[in-house]
Amino acid sequence: MNESLRKRLRQLRLSGLAQALEVRLQEAAGHGLSHLEFLELILQDEVNVRQQRMLARRQKLAAFRETRTLEDFDFSFNPAIKRKAIYDLATGQFIREARDVLFVGPPGVGKSHLAQAIGHQALRNGFLVLYRSIFDLVRELKEEDVLPSRGKPLSRYLKPDLLIVDDMGLKQLPAQAGEYLFEIIMRRHENRSTMMTSNRPIEEWGKLVGDVPAATAILDRFLQHAEIIHITGRSYRLKDRTAPTKGPVDKKDN
């Protein structure tokens, strides 16, 4: 490939095509590809590179705590989790329909893993995703020292096709948390999908946010079109730990 062609490809920002062109030229010569077949190949190379870059940008913006996938999740460890229901969510249909999802269960059973894995699959399906623990969400809005309804801070939480709010119920939330969360849920209601995880039953949300009316208003909207998935069982985090072994018995004590 000569320098003139390289320059043209840079001007057109066809970096994916440029990276693969030498190989494709050899492939075309070796296999006798037609002009149309060759053109399809090099254009697909460019599309693939752009899709990979877009996915990387969206994953960075999503700010997942960890890289989790459904392929990494051990469904056999906790048979109570319905694999079909999880994979149905991973199709993204609930996002297209602006429905919500709530995972409820004790700590360690895999709620955060599943939420982030579904979020990661949503990115692959072309959706915009944002992941935040409830504590990060409240802290970020409080640091702006502005009610969410007044401007830019709220827009970050309204734009994503899927907002994942993790860790409800780990501890009581700070003052104004109910106000912030209600504003976000109200604005996203029937417009964008929200997924939440909670270690505590919804009956206790009033205590968690320190504001029973706000919690009632949040749940009234959030649960209207929400799919609630209850997860019980052993801690997924502890599944690979081995039981402690007993030391040798001293015969003198028998």
pLDDT at 152: 60
**Is 42 in contact with 24 (CB distance < 8 Å)?**
yes
Which residue's entry shows tokens 């709530």?
102
Q: What is the CA radius of gyration of the chain?
A: 25
Of 214 and 113, the structure prediction assigns the larger pLDDT to 113
- CB-count burial class (<10 Å; 0-12, 13-18, 19+) for 174: middle
Element (H, E) at 101: strand 100-104
Calculate ∠ Cα 151-224-201, nearest 5°: 95
pTM for the complete prediction? Answer: 0.77
Residues 149-165 have pLDDT tens digits of 455 667 889 999 999 99
Q: Is the pLDDT confidence value at 65 over 80?
A: yes
Mean pLDDT of 122-126: 93
Cβ contacts of 151 within 8 Å, gap of 6 or more: none
Q: Is the pLDDT confidence value at 254 over 60?
A: no
Amino acid at the residue 201:
P
Q: Is the pLDDT confidence value at 242 over 50?
A: no
